[in-house]
Amino acid sequence: MDRLYLMTVFIAVAEAESFSVAARRLSISPPAVTRAIATLEKRLGVRLLTRTTRFVRATEAGLRYLEDARRIVAEVDEADEAAIGINAVPRGRLMVTAPVLFGRMFVTPVVVDYLRRHPEVTVSALFVDRVVALVEEGLDVGIRIGHLPDSSLQAIRVGQVRSVLCAAPAYLAEHGVPELPEDLAEHVLISSSGSSVDPAWKFMRDGSVVSVKVQPRLIMSTNDSTIEAARSGFGIARLLSYQIASLVASGELRIVLAEHEMAALPIHVIHREGRQSAAKVRGFVDLVVQRLRGDGALR
C-alpha cells in the first residue's frame, strides 16, 4: 500500500482513538482501516497502537510517529495546493471551532454564507466552551476569546469583548444599583458554569485588581439560560459584552459597575501555520476575519 495512505489512516485512527470513527472520517470500510494499520506496523516492525475492547491508544512509538506523520502529510497537502495554484477552488472538509454562544451568534452565519459561495466544501463545526487544541483534534480554524499562549498557530486579532455585570432595569429599580464591587454581597447574583466556576469575581479599582468572593443564588449550565434569568429580573449576572449587546441596546438589560471592569479580552481567529494554507482555509479565514472585524458588538 502507498505509504502516504498508510500514514493518513494511522493519523485518523490515532486522533479518533477508534477504527470505526476513522473509517467514517476517511469514507473507507473498517476492514480497510484494520488492514492499513497492520500493514504499516509490519512495515515498520513496531506496534503503533494498543487495542482493547474499550479503546485504542497510540503507544510511545506511535506518538512519536504520529507527530512526524502529521508533519509529512501536511507538507504534502501544502505542496499539492502550491501546484494547483493560489486561486484554486476551495474544496474538501473544513473543521471549525468556537465557543458555543459565539459560534451560534457570529460563526454560523459566516459558515452558511461560505458554504453557499463554495459548493465543493463541507463544514464540521465544533462549538464548545473549552480550549480546543486545533492540531491534536484535527481542526482547521478556531475562534478564541482571551489571551493566547505561545504556539505555532497563526493568529489574527479581530476584536475584543469585556466581562460585564448586567441586570434588568426592573431588578435595579427594586434592589438598587451597586456602586462598588463589595455592594454585590447585598444582591442576588447569577453565574454560568459554562464560562467559569471561580468563586471570586475580579474588578479594577485605582489601577489594581481586586477579587470579590461571590455566592451566586443561581448557577446555570449555559450562557443562554443565564441571560434569560437576568432578563427576567431575578438578579445580576456576569457575562461577556457580545452576549448581551443587543439586549443592552434595546434597554432590556443594563450594565452596572462599568467603571470597575477588567481589561477587554482579545478575540483571535487562529489556524494552522504553513507555507501556504489550503484554499478552503484561506477562503474561510478571509471571510470570517472580515465579518468579525466589521461587527460593532466586538469592538
Domain harbouring 253, CATH code = 3.40.190.290
- The CATH number of residue 146's host domain is 3.40.190.10
Domain interval for residue 167: 163-260
Do 171 and 289 lie in one domain? The reply is no
Mean pLDDT, the chain, rounded, equals: 90
Domain count across the chain: 3
pLDDT in tens, 143-191: 999 998 867 788 999 999 999 999 999 999 999 999 999 999 999 999 9
Mean pLDDT along residues 115-142 = 90
131 with 274, same domain: the answer is yes
Based on the domain organization, do 157 and 269 belong to the same domain?
yes
Do 156 and 168 lie in one domain? The reply is: no
What are the grid coordinates assigned to 287, written together? 471571510
Domain-terminating residue out of 60, 84, 108:
84
Identify the three-state secondary structure at position 254. Answer: strand
**What sections of the chain are H helices per DSSP?**
3-16, 19-26, 30-44, 60-84, 100-102, 108-117, 169-175, 223-231, 241-250, 279-293
* CB atoms inside a 10 Å sphere around CB 215: 9
In 3-state terms, what secondary structure has residue 184? helix
Label residue 133 by pLDDT band (50, 70, 90): confident
Pick the last residue of a domain from 66, 84, 102.
84
pTM for this entry: 0.72
Apex 236 CA angle, 231 and 239, nearest 5: 80
Q: Is the confidence at residue 276, as pLDDT, over 60?
A: no
Residue 121's CB is within 10 A of a number of other CB atoms, namely 19
Contacts 24+ apart (CB under 8 A), 17-26: 17/55, 17/56, 17/57, 18/56, 19/56
Query: Is 115 strand, coil or helix?
Result: helix
Query: What is the mean predicted confidence (pLDDT) over 278-289?
Result: 92
C-alpha cell recorded at residue 247? 439586549
Last residue of a domain, one of 68, 84, 100: 84
Tell me, yes or no, whether 207 and 252 share the same domain. yes
Q: Are residues 129 and 216 in the same domain?
A: no
Residues 245 and 226 reside in one and the same domain: yes
User: Domain holding 69: CATH number?
Assistant: 1.10.10.10
191 in the same domain as 230 = yes
Reply yes or no on whether the pLDDT at 196 is more than 60: no
**One domain, residues 227 and 280:** no
Please provide the distance, in angstroms rounded to a whole number, between the alpha carbons at the two ends of the chain. Answer: 53
In DSSP notation, 270-286 reads EE---SS--HHHHHHHH
Asked if pLDDT for residue 138 goes beyond 90, the answer is no
Residues in the chain: 299
Q: CA 70 to CA 66: how far, in whole Å? A: 6
- For residues 136 and 215, membership in a common domain is answered with no
pLDDT, mean of residues 135-147:
89
Identify whether residues 256 and 284 lie together within a single domain: no
Tell me: pLDDT of 85 over 70.
Answer: no
pLDDT at 194: 58
Whether 173 and 212 share a structural domain: yes
